[in-house]
A = this chain, B = another copy of it.
Amino acid sequence: MEVENKQIIFKGYIEGPPKETDMEFKVGKKIKLEAPKGSGAFLVKNLYLSCDPYMRGRMRDFHGSYIPPFTPGSVIEGFGVSKVLDSDNPKFKPGDLVSGLTGWEEYSLIYRTEQLRLIEPNDIPLSYYLGLLGMPGFTAYAGFYEVCAPRKGDYIFVSAASGAVGQLVGQLGKLHGCYVVGSAGSSKKVDLLKTKLGFDEAFNYKEEKDLDAALKRYFPEGIDIYFDNVGGDMLDAALLNMRIHGRIAVCGMVSQHSTSNPQGTQNLFSLITKRITMKGFLQSDYLHLYPRFLEDVISLYKQGKIVYIEDMNEGLESAPAAFVGLFAGNNVGKQVIRVAAL
């Protein structure tokens, strides 16, 4: 049986923030819903796709990063939750639900099967495997516990705090007995941080003329941990407000600094005077902790101790606009695309 396969194609390498016209929605070649014999591959129906800022880094022709660039003219690759329809691989069978790297299309034939994991059946929303239980959630977990070295009572600042990573960092901070303040880019997000996500305080950075003054207002004693999802001016302001032996986890700067002429960070001398440790990290260096993460976070979620906010768009066609919207802060919570029903 052959079916149509709608796809989002990456058109070519870009400068600056991504635009919808950098991607093309089209109906691809008809595809047989089967995995070729002897291939070791499996064929999936994609249910949910993830829009993540790191994907901007794959839209430039630079091979020196931790993940290769997209191939112009090919389907965009990203994290997804999918259902196996046919399999030539003994580890996956029809009906299995999987999460991991797939294509921005209705059906994908997966050859790099090691890039997906089976989802154990439970009563957690499937799309959470792209956020709370996926790469962003694991980034928050590994970054918080392994990079930030938190202690009870620490003063924690999280930027892009309502985003896919930040919202979990803040909640883990509260559960750890810390004081947590987040910044975000709209009053709606600030409200969510304070009312739904349990942050002690939150502010809209777009309404602050002086970020240094804003941080001094919320952290009169200074910041022990800055979980940096943005870089730029906010990093500079945080550097001025760190406490002695503070830690800065550098997480999302890639998204801001994917331009060829990044803004300079001026206040690095604070690293010395405050003896700060600033560490960049990728969740993929901590995969040995993934089983513990899954167990911990599923348990916390089931106990009602953490929540997770998603921004769900409907239909594959909506993916380019949703992705572009990340860079304008249009999303409220983790940006996900629903491609098909289970």
- A positions within 8 Å CB-CB of B: 64-66, 231, 235, 245, 250-251, 253-254, 257-258, 261-282, 285
In the bound complex, CA of A320 to CA of B265 (Å): 33
In the complex, the answer to whether A271 meets B280 with C-beta atoms within 8 Å is yes
In the complex, the answer to whether A65 meets B273 with C-beta atoms within 8 Å is yes
Contacts of A285 in B (CB 8 A): 245, 275
Contacts of A272 in B (CB 8 A): 250-251, 253-254, 280-282
9 contacts between A and B (CB under 8 A): A250-B271, A253-B271, A254-B269, A257-B268, A261-B266, A264-B265, A271-B280, A277-B278, A278-B278
In the complex, the answer to whether A271 meets B262 with C-beta atoms within 8 Å is no
Chain copies in the assembled complex: 2
Partner of A269, one of B257, B274, B276, B279: B257
Contacts of A262 in B (CB 8 A): 266-269
Partner of A281, one of B269, B270, B275, B278: B275
A273 to chain B, nearest CB (A): 5
Query: Which 7 A/B pairs are nearest by Cβ-Cβ distance?
Result: A264-B264, A271-B280, A272-B280, A257-B269, A277-B279, A278-B278, A250-B271
In the complex, the answer to whether B267 meets A271 with C-beta atoms within 8 Å is no
Contacts of A263 in B (CB 8 A): 264, 266
Most buried by B among A251, A258, A265: A265
Contacts of A273 in B (CB 8 A): 64-66, 254, 280
Contacts A235-B268, A275-B281 given; 5 further ones with Cβ under 8 A?
A: A231-B268, A253-B272, A262-B268, A265-B268, A277-B280
A191 to chain B, nearest CB (A): 30
In the bound complex, CA of A83 to CA of B60 (Å): 65
A52 to chain B, nearest CB (A): 14
